[in-house]
Structure 1
Amino acid sequence: MDRVRSAFNGVMRSERYSRFTLQPAENGERHAEVKLSDDATDDVTELEAQGSPSFRPAPLRRSRWTVLYVVLGILLIFVIGYVVGYASHQKPQGEPVDCGVQKGVKTDGTTTERTMTTTSSAPAAPVAPAPEPQLNWKKLTQLLAEKLTSQAFESSLREFDELRRSAGSEEDKSLANRIFDSFKRLEMKPWTDIHHVQLPMPDSQRPNRIQFGSEVFKPTGYLAYSAVGRVQGRLVYGNYGRKEDLDVVQKVVELKDSVLLLRAGNLTFAEQVNNAAMKEAAAVLIYPDPQDYPFNTDTELYGHVHLGSGDPYTPGFPSFNHTQFPPTNSSGLPKIPAQTISANVAQTLLKKIGGLESNTSSGFKGGLSSVSYNLGGKESIIVEVNNVLVNSELHNVFGVIKGFADPDRYVLLGAQRDAWGNGYAKANVGTSVLMELAKAFHEMVENDGFRPRRSLVFASWSAGEYGSVGATEWLEGFISSIDRNVITYISLDGVVLGHGSFIASASPLLYSLLQSTMKEVKSPLGDGTVYSMTVRNNGSWDTQVMRPMSMDDPAYPFLAFSGIPSVSFHFIKTQIESYVYYGTSLDNKDHLSYQTNRRTSEMTATAAQFAGQMALRLVHDHKLSLDVNRYSNLINKAVLTVYGRIKKLLRSGELKDVDPEWLNRARSSFKRAADGIGTAVDNTDLTDPEASRILNDRIRMVEHCLLSPYVSPIDTPFRHLVFGRGSHTLASIDVSDTKQLRTQLALATWNLKACANAMMGNVWDIDNEI
């Protein structure tokens, strides 16, 4: 036996490979030396390298008797092992023993029972306990509500309340570290996503200034991403700066090279500046009029004027690791200076502006006393903007609760933690809701037997005040994979702005989920639900609740840039009264307490329950709670509007040789694909994991496939066919330009048709009508 073992070990040693080495030969060529053993120096094969050398081990120099011993040894070991294994696995026969009841779980969480028997005369071996039955929906929502209490939020709101939390500051990073540590304590495997960006800041050495006659003003508020420089022009009052406002003014005052004075509201700062630039204005001044902002008239405004989201100096790609990208700027950066001023400064300017008095019927009159709101165009003013770019490091922080069936599919909940000042409603409330939801879901999994099918990811973003910079850079960094995995994004920013009513902005896929959640979550004001609190007099639900999603909405880049179904919602004081303290130093605990009638913690708990219940539904059910039919109805309406306009012009002879029928057929294809998903839902066994996953992927694909593949993410980042911005959208199809119209129709048609094909799932089900 020892001889067999020795021979076997010798063979194994001789077969051991080591490194390949190349050594120069005498003729200057290179040879490959293959060593089969470190100590076998005499068993070397030298192969002369000719082109691509091939390597093979040296032949073994062993006797036939050695080979025979090895074979016999292997056979002996195999026989012994087989005999021992067979003997150890024999079981005695016996009498049947009742093993009791086996429980199964239905899709609604209830259990079924059936009796099982087996045969054995020996005592039954220990059996692993049956898995806990899935908690039913009522129990889940009850558990969630019990954990998200007003008392819990009183503590959380105090914990995350910061006097200063500007993006990239030490306070911002410190808060990020605290959130990271909290996720770590909850065993949520936290990670950090770091970006290096340039954020505009006022120059302390050269403050921004405005000179009007002999008076000079140096405002402390500012607009990030404004063009810098010094311009001079005639001062003109333009109301809110809407296109219709500027059209009215332009009829009586020349806007080219003027400095437009606009009051804040109705539009984002970026849209106001963009409209002014389209009229060839030289600069823009924006102030809060007392009619819209009933606070101190010396209050300064802060904001940004990038007509987009993310870092405008790395458009379409992420700002990782100080990577040196080519000098490309976002097409949404303004070309003219813009600056905010207080209502007091605006009053001084309007008293001396001169010119014709504005038309009272056009709504130009504001709330400043002793001011006639003349249109101006007579007096010259100088605007000087000296903002500088500051290198800043942004930290996004994430934590995850992994799903038990489809962990690679997840619902993302996010909140920004930065603000211009205290940012109590803007950042503190959302951060508190994020952390309490993470804690509640963790406890439900660890202690209460909750088993989410899909994962929950919690994200704390930085630089939200600069246009969702942290969130957008993350989306750009993982653009090739995120849309395949994220089911829905739920924004927690500004969820509590008052009490008494409720509004939301969302992808149509989430309308039904929003509506059902409103009917289930109890109203914080007493009896009834959020739905009964908001929808009054049997009015239309979507008319009273739903709002268009603006570019400043934190959920907008997720929807229009990445094609992820997204939602943001807000508890507000009344349907017509907004929270006016955003972007000011007045966004603090006292002002939010006034807006909520001193019930901030109760309102925050209700908002957390609302977001948590939406997330619960999305990770709990076999089928995703996304309603494709809502999208089908919206696209049907949008396409028929374009189709009707073109047909009308064709009949009148104003338009020729343009056929909108293909776009109409693409709409029909989308409708059939949506109906096909509905049929698949009815015919699919949702308890079958594979069938359920295939169906859910078809549903989830709808939003992403509406992103136009025909436009550049650098020039047109918001590529969504319905909610994007640019000439590719259905809403922007221009019937006045025949050449442009043909291209727009073609691109919209194929975008819609490709989406319908993707929704069909299998390639053999694709409708090839177009």
Structure 2
Amino acid sequence: MESIRGVLVDVFHDLPSNSVELTKVPHMATTAGDERTVQYMLKRWQDPDTGLDRAWREEYLVYLSFPDPKTPNKVTVGELGPQGISGGYREKEKEYGPDQKDPDVVQPYAAYAPAGHPKGKLVYANQGKPSDYLHLNQTLDLNGTIAITRYGGEGRAQKAINAAPYGVIGVLVYTDPRDINDGRMSDTNETYPHSWYMPPSGVERGSFNTQYGDLLTPYLAAKDDTYRISMAKITGIPPIPTQPIGFEDAYALICQVQLDIYNRGEIKNSSNVMGVIRGSVEPDRYVIYGNHRDSWVHGAVDPSSGTSVMLEVTRVLGRMVKEGKWRPRRSVIFGSWGAEEFGLIGSAEYTEEYYSKLSERSVAYINVDISVFGKRQKSGNISVFVLLQVKTPGSESTSVYDNWIRYFNRTSPTYGVIPNVGFLTGAGSDYAAFIHFLGITSMDISYTYDRTKTSARIYPAYHTAYDTFDYSSKFIDPGFTSHQTVARTAGNVLMRLADSLLLPFNCSDYAESLEAYLAKALELYTEGLAVHNISIEPLKSAVKTFRSAAASLDQMIRDSDLANETPLKVRGINDQLMLLDRAFLDPTAFPDQYGFRHVIWASSKASEPTFPGLADAYERAALSGLDEDWEEAHRQLSLLSQAILGAAHTLEEVI
């Protein structure tokens, strides 16, 4: 407890200077700027006074996509006719300061989109969802057209993947000011540098890829001698040229458009920087804390807000270790992941290389990517006691728990009004490989803005040349008080996971989540399944059995004097808690989705908050009416029921 209080008090010293150092130059994956941050991380983690027990780099040869530095991508606009007229297209974002003038600022592009020179009529396709193209196709001939879509509603790559079957030959993607700027459009006084809103020329870069990890070495670590599939077998990337643009250019486009895209793929050496504090009692049990290091440009918010927090946590903990004041019960591994922006590559390759060891020994994974979006709390699955100890920014009387309850709460049938904890159901950051592929209990911690005061889907400078220290320090977190709160929260959580005699997991809370999913499934699917002679009763029974097993284990823990129990018994209970998420893995559940094996938290195309495999299969069957699709819905129901029942059995004593 004393060591945790020390972390709560000591965290802050280097947060602003960390951010300044990390954002001096653009550091896109595998560039010279990225190597600079690799060396900086190693220097910090190998510091003799505040460093870790050991720090090193691990390298992977991965397939990335870049624009041609000599021939920039272009969008030419004009009207039909023998002469045509050229319209303006800004190849780089408008310069408001020295950060945008840096020669290493990469031009906006869609990573993994193919090169090409399509020319055709422009068609507005909303968000590029399947329903959008289906609607357009009812009244328009889409063959040979170029679609312009806005971000949101569908994944980046999927906007182009959905378009291609209709004969669309190119796709443009822009950020609509209604979705990101609350409608504000003028850089005279409404947008950056006057406020946090995106300037008209701002362009959101990104990886246009539906999978994660290295595309040429699925399920294999991308080393020199690793088998690689051919480029032709890569799936999940745009089949047609695609380019992101700013809303300034989107509004100028008329009638006919030509795209000149010169993207090219390269196999490049990308590094993870790893560090460890060795555990004193259970060194073979790992608590892993990760953040990605690479950015599209300067990346002050994404990811350097999280990198700054991780460096501050390691500074405080490293100093405590060096001074002999603290050493964790379990080992703590820190990962500074490379090439996340291209598809979570560094963390995915790490989990592939060390699959067996991590599966057997990992207690939990803590992810801090964008640590601060703004000024209100949103966090991962954290114990109430942790949140009560940490104070909210700008207040010595209000805890993070109180603030979370105020802005983002839900009603629990067990606890009443509690903080609303989101689920890690997609592949939005580096937690993906840990929870979906390995089944390691994971959390993602961040501080966000008050969403009742803005409709922005994310902070407006996201993935643009304006995500700089100037932007972050003026509009995201002046004074770095929210960074401090995240660092204290993350450090507190890490130490509890690493030091607690009994792991701070509650199986009954898991049961409550399953029951909420079940209630939605019963509401949506019972009648439709029954029409096809498929009973949902096995799922109801499995969830009921899990609830009973979870309650029994939790009660046994409460009744036990664990401090006086044998180490073997404590270790056994901890193993039950640690391995619970592994029990929900099924490698046959999602054969078409790389790295998704968790039947509860996998990604889903369905809009309903319920079991992903069942939801997707049911919606597909209801739409098609095909017998084979209803058979797949039945299969998903069965494997889900058996996974939940199997997980319940792991909570029982021995046999």
Sort the TM-score into its range (normalised by shorter chain).
0.7 to 0.9
2:468 aligned partner: 588
CA distance change for structure 1 residues 331 and 677 in 2, over 3 Å: closer, same or farther? farther
Query: Which of 255, 261, 264 is equivalent to 2:148?
Result: 261
CA distance change for structure 1 residues 656 and 759 in 2, over 3 Å: closer, same or farther? closer
Cα deviation, residue 284, structure 1: 1.5
Equivalent positions of 1:501-650 (< 5 A) are 501-504=376-379, 506=380, 510=381, 513-526=382-395, 527-536=397-406, 539-540=409-410, 546=422, 549-575=425-451, 576=454, 577=456, 578-596=458-476, 598-600=478-480, 602-649=481-528
Cα deviation, residue 424, structure 1: 1.1
Report whether the alignment pairs 1:164 with 2:26: yes
C-alpha distance in 2 between matches for 1:435 and 1:425: 15
Q: 1:315 touches 1:713 (CA, 8 Å); kept in 2?
A: no
Q: 1:669 touches 1:753 (CA, 8 Å); kept in 2?
A: no
Cα deviation, residue 327, structure 1: 2.1
Provide the secondary structure at the position in 2 that maps to 1:733.
helix
Query: Which of 194, 200, 221 is equivalent to 2:65?
Result: 200
Q: 2:408 touches 2:419 (CA, 8 Å); kept in 1?
A: no
Q: 1:673 touches 1:760 (CA, 8 Å); kept in 2?
A: yes
Structure 1 length as normaliser, TM-score? 0.71
C-alpha distance in 1 between matches for 2:363 and 2:532: 44
CA distance change for structure 1 residues 341 and 645 in 2, over 3 Å: closer, same or farther? closer
2:241 aligned partner: 337
C-alpha distance in 2 between matches for 1:619 and 1:319: 30
Equivalent positions of 1:482-501 (< 5 A) are 482-499=358-375, 501=376
What one-letter code is carried by the residue in structure 1 that aligns with 2:305?
V
C-alpha distance in 2 between matches for 1:464 and 1:747: 31
RMSD between aligned alpha carbons? Answer: 2.9
CA distance change for structure 1 residues 274 and 516 in 2, over 3 Å: closer, same or farther? farther
Report whether the alignment pairs 1:188 with 2:75: no
CA distance change for structure 1 residues 268 and 474 in 2, over 3 Å: closer, same or farther? same
What one-letter code is carried by the residue in structure 1 that aligns with 2:199?
N
- Quick one: higher RCO (CA 8 Å, sep 6+), 1 or 2? 2
Q: 2:8 touches 2:492 (CA, 8 Å); kept in 1?
A: no
1:79 aligned partner: none
Report whether the alignment pairs 1:326 with 2:229: yes
CA distance change for structure 1 residues 332 and 739 in 2, over 3 Å: closer, same or farther? same
C-alpha distance in 1 between matches for 2:653 and 2:423: 39
CA distances 1:614-649 after superposition (whole Å, capped 9, x unpaired): 111111212211222222222233344434544323
Provide the secondary structure at the position in 2 that maps to 1:535.
helix
Report whether the alignment pairs 1:410 with 2:286: yes
The runs of 5 or more residues in structure 2 that have no matched partner are 79-84, 92-106, 182-196, 411-416, 606-611
What one-letter code is carried by the residue in structure 2 that aligns with 1:200?
S
Equivalent positions of 1:105-120 (< 5 A) are none
Report whether the alignment pairs 1:450 with 2:326: yes
What one-letter code is carried by the residue in structure 2 that aligns with 1:147?
D
CA distance change for structure 1 residues 159 and 209 in 2, over 3 Å: closer, same or farther? closer
* Greater mean deviation of Cα atoms: 174-183 or 189-198: 174-183
What one-letter code is carried by the residue in structure 2 that aligns with 1:517?
V
1:750 aligned partner: 639
1:367 aligned partner: none
* Greater mean deviation of Cα atoms: 659-668 or 401-410: 659-668
CA distances 1:693-750 after superposition (whole Å, capped 9, x unpaired): 1111111222122222215767542122122136972321315244333334334433
* Greater mean deviation of Cα atoms: 586-595 or 241-250: 241-250
CA distance change for structure 1 residues 181 and 338 in 2, over 3 Å: closer, same or farther? same
CA distance change for structure 1 residues 281 and 531 in 2, over 3 Å: closer, same or farther? farther
2:617 aligned partner: 733
Max Rg structure: 1
Q: 1:315 touches 1:330 (CA, 8 Å); kept in 2?
A: no
C-alpha distance in 2 between matches for 1:278 and 1:723: 30
Equivalent positions of 1:655-734 (< 5 A) are 655-687=531-563, 688-711=566-589, 715-725=593-603, 729-734=613-618
Cα deviation, residue 589, structure 1: 1.0
Q: 2:392 touches 2:403 (CA, 8 Å); kept in 1?
A: yes
The runs of 5 or more residues in structure 1 that have no matched partner are 1-136, 353-378
C-alpha distance in 2 between matches for 1:551 and 1:276: 22
Provide the secondary structure at the position in 1 that maps to 2:288.
strand
CA distance change for structure 1 residues 260 and 542 in 2, over 3 Å: closer, same or farther? farther
C-alpha distance in 2 between matches for 1:300 and 1:187: 39
Report whether the alignment pairs 1:144 with 2:31: no
CA distance change for structure 1 residues 410 and 752 in 2, over 3 Å: closer, same or farther? farther
C-alpha distance in 2 between matches for 1:477 and 1:457: 15
CA distance change for structure 1 residues 330 and 634 in 2, over 3 Å: closer, same or farther? farther
2:206 aligned partner: 303
CA distance change for structure 1 residues 764 and 171 in 2, over 3 Å: closer, same or farther? closer
Query: Which of 215, 219, 239 is equivalent to 1:312?
Result: 215
C-alpha distance in 2 between matches for 1:226 and 1:279: 18
2:608 aligned partner: none
Provide the secondary structure at the position in 2 that maps to 1:457.
strand
What one-letter code is carried by the residue in structure 2 that aligns with 1:535?
I
Say how many residue pairs are matched: 589
Structure 2 length as normaliser, TM-score? 0.82
Provide the secondary structure at the position in 2 that maps to 1:729.
helix
CA distance change for structure 1 residues 679 and 258 in 2, over 3 Å: closer, same or farther? farther
The sequence identity of aligned pairs, in percent, is 24
Q: 1:701 touches 1:759 (CA, 8 Å); kept in 2?
A: no
What one-letter code is carried by the residue in structure 2 that aligns with 1:335?
P
C-alpha distance in 1 between matches for 2:236 and 2:640: 24
